[in-house]
């Protein structure tokens, strides 16, 4: 059965705590994170109906719902900083998201991570795009992680950044064909069963889009904020608003917008606005949030990603490298 107002079932939210079966009777204990009593009653009624419909011969379906004290909206606990226990040793966890694919979100995540490292931070980068991991290629690393005596994965390093990705665990040509619960479990393992150590920042490269998988990821990971990547054209900005709405829905603070592919810079230094201009800035102003950076469309960014040497590492003082470092500085300011 679905959680009221959501496409996910109540089991995936982790609120079903105990199930007891005795002959033709079933007892279920559900613990809500929301103090809204009406939601608890709705879930209890739906659970009883589901048990009677699915279990032939059931004579008693006892459903106990525990509701915390206080007042609330009825939504399950979101993925904001206040709703999840902090991961030991990690100061800040930041999602890099987009409303659609093809805007260079992973490129921005990789270069932001390297830029924060360039500024002296202890940085990790988690590739949460389970179906299409690209961080190993862009960071130039294919090493498989080791496992320590506590059965934790030890993340490999590249360019001073700790990394974790499904791309380290499966062959390049092997697809991941999983349903949502498997994805959620993997993300939980990447957070809690990886020996990240002491980090100032852990960036999470989310999959593109705003579907149920992305919502689950935001509610699984204890995020301190999100950065949304867009390109200048109206079509991209229009879809990226859905990414912003997704973060707002799970109460993740929006730290700012990065406008990628913000004008092509020719070898002679002239600029051509291939994808239009100003879309990211206009959306940032409309929402009253910072525009963290306008990243130019420069061949060196693509070349660096293909070679596994991000442009921030290859040329930190160049136009693109400096733009990413400036964006990282603004991000630091937003995080205090």
Task: Clarify whether residues 162 and 212 are in a common domain.
Answer: yes
- What would the pLDDT profile of 134-157 be if each residue is shown by its tens digit? 999 999 998 888 888 888 999 999
- Pick the last residue of a domain from 77, 106, 126: 77
Residue 151, pLDDT score: 86
Query: Cα–Cα distances in Å, from 205 out to 32, 165, 228?
Result: 29, 10, 11
Strands 199-205 and 90-97: parallel
310 versus 176: which is more confidently predicted? 310
Q: Indicate if 71 and 106 belong to the same structural domain.
A: no
Mean pLDDT value across residues 239-262: 85
In a domain, 83, yes or no: no
List residues bridging with 145 in a β-sheet.
none
Q: Tell me the C-alpha distance between 155 and 144, whole Å.
A: 9
152 versus 20: the higher-pLDDT residue is 152
pLDDT confidence of residue 211: 65
**Strands 153-154, 146-147: pairing kind:** antiparallel
Q: What's the predicted TM-score (pTM) here? A: 0.74
Residue 288 domain-assigned (yes or no): yes
Statement: residue 302 has pLDDT above 90: yes
Could you tell me if 149 and 11 lie in one domain?
Answer: no
170 and 134 within one domain: yes
Strands (E), the chain: 16-22, 25-31, 60-66, 90-97, 123-127, 146-147, 153-154, 157-158, 161-165, 199-205, 225-230, 254-259, 264-265, 271-272, 291-294
Q: What is the pLDDT of residue 192?
A: 87
Choosing from 26, 51, 77, the residue where a domain stops is 77
Q: What pLDDT is stored for residue 317 in this prediction?
A: 96
* Domain extent at residue 101: 90-335
Whether 147 is covered by a domain: the verdict is yes
Over residues 64-70, the mean pLDDT reads 74
Give the 3-state secondary structure of residue 85: coil
pLDDT above 90: percentage of residues in the chain = 36
Query: What pLDDT was estimated at residue 8?
Result: 64
- Residue 328, pLDDT above cutoff 90: yes
Tell whether 85 is covered by a domain. Answer: no
Q: How confident is the model over 54-82, as a mean pLDDT? A: 65
141 half-sphere exposure, CB direction, 13 A CA radius: 24
pLDDT-based confidence at residue 311 (cuts at 50, 70, 90): very high
Same-domain pairing of 200 and 60? no
How many domains are contained in the chain? Answer: 2
Q: Is it the case that residue 312 has pLDDT exceeding 70? A: yes
Residue 226's pLDDT is what?
Answer: 92
DSSP state of 1: -
Q: What is the pLDDT of residues 188-221, one digit of tens each?
A: 889 889 999 999 999 999 888 766 667 667 777 7
Answer yes or no: is pLDDT of 283 > 80.
yes
Looking at residue 35, its pLDDT comes to 66
User: Which of the listed ranges 9-13, 163-167, 244-248 does the model predict with the highest average pLDDT?
Assistant: 163-167
Give yes or no for residue 316 having a pLDDT over 80: yes
Residue 69 has pLDDT above 80, yes or no: no
Q: What rounded mean pLDDT belongs to the chain?
A: 84
Q: What is the mean pLDDT of residues 251-255?
A: 87
CATH number of domain containing 22: 3.30.300.130
Is 76 in contact with 31 (CB distance < 8 Å)? no
Same domain flag for 252 and 277:
yes
- pLDDT reported for residue 223: 86
Please check the confidence at residue 80 and state whether its pLDDT lies above 70: no
Q: Report the distance separating Cα 225 and Cα 247, nearest Å.
A: 9
One domain, residues 38 and 177: no
Any idea which of 28-42, 103-117, 280-294 has the lowest mean pLDDT? 28-42
Residue 74 predicted with pLDDT over 70: no
Burial of 283 from C-beta contacts in 10 A (0-12 / 13-18 / 19+): buried
**Residue 283 within any structural domain of the chain:** yes
Domain boundary among 32, 54, 77: 77
Least confident of 34-48, 52-66, 282-296: 34-48
- Average pLDDT in the 262-276 region? 80
178 and 59, same structural domain? no
Q: Give SS3 for 284.
A: helix
């Amino acid at each position: 059965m679905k959680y009221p107002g959501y496409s996910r079932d109540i089991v995936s939210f982790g609120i079903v705590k105990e199930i007891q079966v005795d002959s033709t009777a079933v007892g279920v204990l559900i613990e809500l994170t929301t103090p809204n009593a009406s939601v608890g009653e709705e879930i209890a009624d739906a659970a009883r109906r589901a048990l009677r419909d699915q279990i032939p011969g059931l004579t008693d379906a006892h459903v106990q719902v525990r509701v915390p004290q206080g007042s609330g909206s009825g939504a399950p606990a979101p993925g904001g900083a206040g709703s999840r226990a902090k991961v030991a040793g990690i100061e800040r966890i930041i999602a890099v998201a987009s409303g659609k694919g093809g805007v260079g979100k992973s490129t921005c995540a990789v270069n932001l991570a390297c830029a924060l490292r360039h500024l002296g931070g202890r940085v990790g980068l988690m590739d949460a795009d389970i179906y299409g991991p690209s961080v190993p290629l862009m960071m130039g690393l294919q090493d498989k992680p080791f496992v320590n005596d506590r059965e934790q994965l030890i993340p490999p390093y590249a360019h001073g950044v700790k990394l974790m990705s499904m791309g380290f665990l499966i062959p390049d040509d092997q697809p991941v064909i999983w349903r949502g619960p498997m994805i959620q479990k993997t993300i939980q393992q990447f957070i809690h069963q990886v020996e990240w150590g002491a980090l100032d920042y852990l960036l999470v490269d989310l999959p593109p889009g705003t579907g149920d998988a992305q919502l689950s990821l935001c509610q699984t990971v204890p995020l301190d904020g999100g950065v949304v990547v867009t390109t200048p054209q109206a079509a991209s900005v229009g879809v990226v608003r859905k990414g912003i709405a997704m973060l707002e829905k799970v109460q993740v603070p929006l730290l700012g917008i990065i406008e990628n592919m913000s004008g092509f810079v020719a070898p002679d230094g002239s600029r051509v606005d291939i994808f239009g201009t100003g879309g990211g800035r206009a959306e940032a102003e409309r929402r009253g949030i910072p525009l963290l950076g306008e990243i130019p469309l420069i061949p060196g960014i693509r070349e660096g990603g293909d070679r596994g040497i991000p442009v921030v590492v290859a040329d930190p003082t160049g136009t693109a490298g400096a733009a990413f470092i400036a964006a990282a500085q603004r991000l630091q300011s937003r995080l205090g």
